[in-house]
Amino acid sequence: MIPVSAIACQDTCAPEVTWQTILQQAVTDPVELCERLAIRPEDRPSLLAACEQFALRVPEPYLARIEPGNPRDPLLLQVLPQVAELQEYPGFTSDPLDERNHNPLPGLVHKYDSRVLLVSTSLCAIHCRYCFRREFPYQDNRNSRQDWQEALSYIGQRIEVNEVILSGGDPMSLPDRQLAWLAGQVASIPHVARLRIHTRLPVVIPQRITQECLGWLTSTRLQTVVVLHSNHPNEIDGDVTAAIQRLRQAGITVLNQSVLLAGINDEASTLASLSEKLFAAGCLPYYLHALDPVRGSRHFALADDQAIALHKALQARLPGFLVPRLVRELPGQPAKTWLA
Ligand SMILES: *Cc1c(COP(=O)(O)O)cnc(C)c1O
Ligand code: SF4
């Protein structure tokens, strides 16, 4: 028998599932993932060894957008560990962007004159197999308030820095009160004009964009820019669209960056549809990144000439403002390098 209290609660007081709960309950077991998505055992690569190097992690709202029974699903391929990851190739390294040489203080990467990147957390809502920071030494970059004070005073001493970028990990995996504190500290540095947040969370858990979140994003003197990370039009469902619209209605500039990935989004029609869907939600495409050669990611790589040809085909399909800039990050350069 169903207890009366449960019946009474069904419609009226069912607690809303919070983004924190969704984050905590993400699927981390590869066998569970395959079972949930009806992937046949013969289609399952030997996942476990690959998981040891970089754990599997997929939250429910993202999982729900994957087509069951399709081992080539473009969202599944972004999160499913592959045997190919274990293969070593020359040129594919643990620190392809030479970030360790630009990491003067814990939690701070300063490569480009006018903007400083704060590695605010190691936590992500999702683990993307091609991630260039999959081997970033997060344990040396764990921040105490003391570390943050030092990073902030570093920025305070450099008047050429007018923009602070929160990155990670995913900064939006931190609680809002911590982000609000950090945003307040950044705003107290007079020469900083902009706060940029690089996050994939609104795409993978759109419930993340709460009133509380909009609160600290808008109650600052800084101009705030949220740069999303989405690679495929199937990632943009109604809930993601609504999350982007909430940001836009609050007056926040919303941009998107993608990573060009073989077998996932390496067709002009796919990228054109991504740009169209993002813009319909209120988000402008910003960068299309050539893959950073991080160890274990070569199976996602496209040659530069292929990438350039694809970008040309994309230009032929879209208005200029919906064409993301095709870039590669090369160590030692003062900015990203435009390939096309
Ligand atoms: C990409 C990047 C930035 C931001 O570059 P933009 O071209 O302004 O988007 C800043 N710092 C680091 C270390 C970066 O890798
Ligand atoms: S969300 Fe970004 S930082 Fe996190 S794993 Fe994916 S690419 Fe890497």
pLDDT digits (tens, 9 = 90+) for 53-103: 888 999 999 999 999 888 899 999 999 888 888 888 888 888 887 888 888
| Ligand 2 proximity of 200 Cβ (cutoff 6 Å) | yes
Question: Mean of the per-residue pLDDT values for the chain?
Answer: 90
227 Cα nearest atom in ligand 1: 9
Strand order across the 284-289 sheet:
108-112, 115-119, 163-167, 194-199, 223-229, 253-259, 284-289, 325-328, 337-338
pLDDT higher for 126 or 141? Answer: 126
| Ligand 1 proximity of 112 Cβ (cutoff 6 Å) | yes
Instruction: Report how far ligand 1's centroid is from the alpha carbon of 112 (Å).
Output: 7
Give the mutation target among 75, 97, 123, 170 for probing the ligand 2 site: most ligand atoms within 8 A of CB.
170
Mean pLDDT to the nearest integer, 117-128: 92
Fold that domain 99-338 belongs to in CATH: TIM Barrel (3.20.20)
| 49 Ramachandran zone, left/alpha/beta (phi>0; psi -120 to 50) | alpha
Q: Lowest mean pLDDT of 103-117, 216-230, 234-248, 276-290, name the range.
A: 103-117
Nearest CA to ligand 1 atom 4: 115
| Ligand 2 proximity of 108 Cβ (cutoff 6 Å) | no
pLDDT digits (tens, 9 = 90+) for 169-183: 899 999 999 999 999
Give the residue extent of every domain in the chain.
4-86, 99-338
pLDDT digits (tens, 9 = 90+) for 264-320: 999 999 999 999 999 999 999 999 999 988 888 999 999 999 999 999 999 999 999
Give the mutation target among 112, 117, 155, 329 for probing the ligand 1 site: most ligand atoms within 8 A of CB.
112
User: CB of 176 within 8 A of CB of 131?
Assistant: no
